[in-house]
Every structure is written in structure tokens, then in C-alpha cells.
Amino acid sequence: MSHHVLLIEDEPNIMEAIRFFLSRDGWKVSCHSDGATAVSEVNRITPDVVVLDVMLPNRSGFDVLKELRAAPGTRDLPVLMLTAKGQSKDRERAEQLGSSGFMTKPFSNAEVLEKLRSMVGHG
């Protein structure tokens, strides 16, 4: 069975790269790029896992994560945070808000795949 990942990322080249290697690995990939509507998109498509960029237009990934964790339906949804800045305070904040994992750009495709597989419990 293929897992469904929602990729919330506003940089087209990164979005396309992740979409490409996940699709090739058999994942179903949906993409979204606006922080303001990210939560409603998660609720609309109910993915198995979310890849969430910290820096999004209109609303930060941290705010999106906070709202996801506050709602019963998405409280336990696995969320992998992505950030361009490798600052430890970003990582700490992501952990405090309940992120399931954290990655700093640039990352390797294999790394992302491994992390997502462990989040959905296969591989």
C-alpha cells in the first residue's frame, strides 16, 4: 500500500525534487505552498505524513504545526519539519511544538526517505 505524503513547501525546485524521488519510491505526493491554507489542506486530504517547511508565505510552519497539534484529528499526524537555517533554536522550537522529525536544507534524498519511512512505520 502506498503512503500519502503532503509536502508543504514554497520553493518550487525543492518541492519538485522531493516530489520526484518520493513518487519514484512509490509514495503518493500532494503539494501545497501556502502557510495560510496549509491546515485546511491537511484536513482536506488527510495524508499519512506531512513534510512542512518552516519558512512559508503568509504563515510560518511553526504556526501550522502548532495548530495541527492542537486539533484532535491531527494531533498524532507525523510531521517532518524542514528548515534552511540549521539553528538549534529552530530545532528546539520544532520539538517543543511536537514535530516528529527535523531536517536542515540541504538534505539528501535518502535521508528524507529514511525519515519518512520510519515515521509511517515501514522500512
Asked if the model's pLDDT at residue 4 lies above 80, the reply is yes
For residue 72, cis peptide bond before it (omega within 30 degrees of 0): no
Reported as a single tens digit per residue, the pLDDT across 13-55 is: 999 999 999 999 999 999 999 999 999 999 999 999 999 999 9
Give residue 122's pLDDT band: very low, low, confident or very high (50, 70, 90). low
Q: Which domain holds residue 59?
A: 4-119
Number of domains in the chain: 1
For residue 106, cis peptide bond before it (omega within 30 degrees of 0): yes
What CATH number does residue 112 fall under?
3.40.50.2300
Instruction: Count how many residues are written for the chain.
Output: 123
